[in-house]
């Protein structure tokens, strides 16, 4: 036990500053002498130092995963020097890693004297990966809304080519599964409302459809999504307001530090629901094909 409020406590790779009640990261410097050549082994060893159990660094982690996948696609041996282009990308990423030591996340994700709790999940996919993130939106007794990131999950896209709509559906399934895990972990909280957001109108249309009329790939995933969530809980969000977009394409630490949407979601989520984006799937297809 430490009686110094400025001390930090470490658990599961995370550091908690009890004085500020913030979750912080301390990336230890690599004291090993830099090797003359950069190999797949050295890259993986360095990335393995990034332990992010809650997914608070989702965009950075998926960026690292994409670099690893690129090296695997090149079929390099463990101790073979990586190509010059990949080395430049890696060195830029590595040089920015110390910036993570300046990051701070609120440990407490709910407002004081709260009167309502909502859960909002976002899903998105890109050509290289897909991801999901979840936020708690709590309302205090004065009617102010507070939004905080709970965590995120991300995956790199399969090596085999998969169409973007199908990847978007995979992102929706990832969000559904992550939601089930979060609800289990936060079972002491009672959510008055749950909303899932996606910028893929095709995926949203599939989720509203009876699975038996869909093709096998889509059928299996839609069935799982409908088992974990309710179709009416899914809504459309513009791409530029979707924080999961960062989990699908990744970010360098320097860009992540100035990411204003990641920790607290889109600005309208902190406002009354009358300011939320509203577009039904039927409306989209009506305007799309006029």
- Same domain for 219 and 114: yes
Domain assignment present for residue 3? The answer is: no
Domain assignment present for residue 120? The answer is: yes
Taking each helix axis as running N to C, give the angle between helix 216-228 and helix 164-185, from 0 to 180 degrees, rounded to the nearest 10.
Answer: 20
- Same domain for 100 and 140: no
Domain that holds residue 49: 8-104
Read off the CATH number of the domain in which 149 is found.
3.30.420
Domain boundary among 104, 123, 150: 104
Distance CA 192, CA 131 (A): 25
Domain assignment present for residue 283? The answer is: yes
- Same domain for 235 and 284: yes
Cβ pair 222, 172 in contact under 8 A:
no
**What are the phi and psi torsion angles at 250 (to 5°)?**
80, 160
- Same domain for 178 and 130: yes
- Same domain for 118 and 98: no
Domain assignment present for residue 75? The answer is: yes
Distance CA 16, CA 163 (A): 41
Domain assignment present for residue 2? The answer is: no
Domain assignment present for residue 175? The answer is: yes
Model pLDDT, residue 286: 40
- Same domain for 49 and 179: no
Domain count, the chain: 2
Distance CA 101, CA 103 (A): 6
- pTM for the predicted model, two decimal places: 0.90
Distance CA 57, CA 59 (A): 6
Q: How far is CA 135 from the centre of its chain?
A: 10
- Same domain for 24 and 119: no
Model pLDDT, residue 161: 86
- Same domain for 247 and 201: yes
- Same domain for 201 and 65: no
pLDDT by residue for the chain (290 residues), tens only, comes to: 555 555 677 766 678 888 899 999 887 666 555 567 899 999 998 888 888 889 999 999 999 999 999 999 998 889 899 999 999 999 999 999 999 999 999 999 998 888 999 999 999 999 999 999 999 999 999 999 999 999 999 999 998 889 999 999 999 999 999 999 999 999 889 999 999 999 999 999 999 999 999 999 999 999 999 999 999 999 999 999 999 999 999 999 999 999 989 999 999 999 999 999 987 555 554 444 33
Domain boundary among 54, 76, 104: 104
- Same domain for 231 and 122: yes
Domain assignment present for residue 115? The answer is: yes
- Same domain for 70 and 42: yes
- Same domain for 183 and 88: no
Domain assignment present for residue 247? The answer is: yes
Domain boundary among 52, 75, 104: 104
């Amino acid at each position: 036990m430490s009686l110094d409020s400025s001390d930090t406590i470490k658990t599961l790779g995370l550091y908690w500053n009890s004085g500020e009640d913030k979750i912080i990261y301390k990336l230890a410097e690599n004291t090993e002498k830099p090797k003359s050549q950069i190999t797949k082994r050295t890259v993986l060893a360095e990335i393995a130092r990034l332990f992010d159990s809650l997914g608070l660094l989702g965009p950075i982690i998926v960026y690292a995963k994409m670099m690893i996948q690129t090296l695997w696609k090149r079929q390099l041996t463990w101790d073979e020097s990586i190509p010059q282009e990949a080395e430049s990308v890696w060195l830029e990423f590595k040089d920015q890693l110390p910036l993570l030591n300046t990051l701070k996340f609120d440990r407490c994700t709910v407002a004081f004297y709260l009167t309502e709790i909502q859960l909002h999940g976002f899903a998105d996919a890109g050509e290289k990966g897909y991801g999901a993130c979840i936020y708690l939106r709590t309302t205090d007794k004065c009617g102010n809304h507070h939004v905080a990131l709970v965590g995120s999950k991300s995956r790199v896209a399969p090596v085999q080519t998969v169409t973007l709509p199908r990847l978007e559906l995979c992102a929706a399934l990832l969000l559904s599964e992550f939601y089930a895990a979060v609800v289990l972990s936060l079972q002491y909280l009672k959510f008055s409302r749950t909303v899932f957001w996606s910028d893929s109108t095709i995926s949203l249309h599939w989720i509203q459809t009876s699975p038996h009329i869909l093709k096998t790939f889509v059928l299996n995933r839609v069935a799982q999504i409908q088992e974990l969530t309710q179709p009416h809980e899914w809504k459309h969000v513009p791409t530029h307001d979707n924080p999961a977009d960062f989990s699908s394409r990744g970010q360098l630490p320097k860009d992540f530090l100035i990411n204003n949407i990641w920790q607290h979601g889109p600005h309208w989520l902190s406002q009354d629901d009358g300011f939320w984006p509203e577009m039904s799937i039927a409306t989209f297809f009506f305007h799309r094909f006029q």
